Amino acid sequence: MSTPVFYGPIGRAVRKIAPFAETDPLGIYVAVLSMWSAAIGGTVKVSSRGSARPLLLWSALVAGTGRGKGTALRAALHVLDKPLGRFLTTHTTSGITSGASLVNHLWEQQEATAETEHGRDVRALAVEEEWTEVLKRVKRDPSFTTKLRAAWDGTTLRNITKEEAQEVRDPAMVLHSHITPSDWAKYVGESDAAGGSYNRILPFLLGSVPMLDDDRVSLPKVDSSELSDAYGWATACPRVITLSEDARPLWRIVRRYARILGETLPEAQAVLIERTAEQTLRVAACLAAAECSEIITEDMLSAAFSLVRRSVQDAVRISKGADIPKVKRQPLSLADKVRARIEMHGGRAISSQILPYVGATAEEVKALPGIVVTVERSGRTGRPATVFTIRGDRSDLAPEPVSHSREPMPAAPEREVNRATVVQLDAYRPAPKEATAPAPAPELVKRSAVPVPALADNPFRALL
């Protein structure tokens, strides 16, 4: 796992307060960088391939509930509260769930600041501590992801309302979000990532940290003079930060690294890290601005590369769950189905309790290994019943062969006692055609438990 280098004034501030916060210092560092990029994004850009690009850093802290995402955010606010003045109070928002609301928020801010001393201000910091709720709702608005991409690229945003057309040029909005790994896999879809909607966000998995001995401890004061001076320098006039010549060899390595990753990783993972090179350049520009420099040195680029490389590793780890094929439920075999039906009925089941539910014929079931088939009659007459049981482990209980011409056997005494009362109507059936003489009336079986009513009392005699 790559260990990011905490560089410059921002890195020193994070290292100072990290021992007093129950969270991964990486989360604090990332949150500070995102806030810092939002604060200076209105005036500072970075040169990329001959054009000035925004240095806005969008980030996502990915961790389970109670793993320090909120603690990292509060620690970052502690670091930047004084250096940024009232920026965090006046420019922080949340709950943007549609493309129209995103454009409208920036447009209203633009209109409100158009006549001020410093002119129009289209900076915004969207902090979504419950990003899952936002992702659930933005699925209904297909324009959201389009506006999201435009905001990250710094291109013009447009929206048509009933009153007027809204247009925001050079937007400087930053998104910092919190989400759990399971929700990331569920709501950040591959199609959206492939379209570029969410691969503009740097995800970071937060690790666990030891508990503090005393949770009443407060964060120490941070020397904010360096960052205060840097903020004044960055917002005083428009600036474009460029790479130094000594950083060019490393920059070629960064670009080659991004190209190799895109060609070797599975598509579902490759789409999440397509902007590795530009993200590295943006982080380096933020680190340079924190030192009041318009030049990105090799050390700055190396520190930025270590952070983005960590995000690449975390993105791959998060998306691994999406690459694992879902295990399909294996269909039960015929033998398993028959055994389940027999066990459901207490170890023995007749044909009507099995065949309609397993989708097989009686012959197919009889041919299964381990299934014992017997034919039983209830009494001396009536249709025999085919009974299915599971072969036992005892060798002395050999299964009886299947025979449809088996002689009727008298019922067992204990079964005879528990049998319900049955009125035998065989005496009233017409004699078979092949018989030369009418069959004598069968003798009624006497039962000690429940007496059989006399034939004279049969209410159906008058109907025969």
What digits encode the pLDDT tens for the residues 399-440? Answer: 444 444 444 445 454 445 455 554 454 444 555 555 555 556
Helix, strand counts (H, E) of the chain: 18, 14
Domains in the chain: boundaries:
8-323, 334-421
Residue 381 has pLDDT above 50, yes or no: yes
Q: What is the pLDDT of residue 450?
A: 52
Enter the tokens of residue 399: 């299964």
Sheet holding 348-350, edge to edge: 348-350, 385-390, 371-376
Do 241 and 296 contact (CB within 8 A), yes or no? yes
Residue 463 has pLDDT above 80, yes or no: no
Q: What is the pLDDT of residue 441?
A: 59
Q: What is the pLDDT of residue 455?
A: 52
Q: What is the pLDDT of residue 285?
A: 97
Model confidence band, residue 137 (pLDDT cutoffs 50, 70, 90): confident
Specify the DSSP element, H or E, that contains 202. strand 201-205
Residue 78 has pLDDT above 50, yes or no: yes
Q: How confident is the model over 111-126, as a mean pLDDT?
A: 87
Give the span between the Cα atoms of 124 and 175, in whole angstroms.
Answer: 9
- Residue whose tokens read 């129950």: 22
Model confidence band, residue 235 (pLDDT cutoffs 50, 70, 90): very high
Model confidence band, residue 139 (pLDDT cutoffs 50, 70, 90): confident
Q: Which of 342-356, 365-379, 432-446 has the lowest mean pLDDT?
A: 432-446
Helices (H), 114-142: 131-138
Query: How many Cβ atoms sit within 10 Å of the Cβ of residue 101?
Result: 17
Q: What is the CATH number of domain 8-323?
A: 3.40.50.300
Q: What is the pLDDT of residue 190?
A: 60
Residue 291 has pLDDT above 50, yes or no: yes
Give the span between the Cα atoms of 370 and 78, in whole angstroms.
Answer: 72
Q: What is the pLDDT of residue 379?
A: 67
When the pLDDT of each residue in the chain is averaged and rounded to a whole number, the result is 82
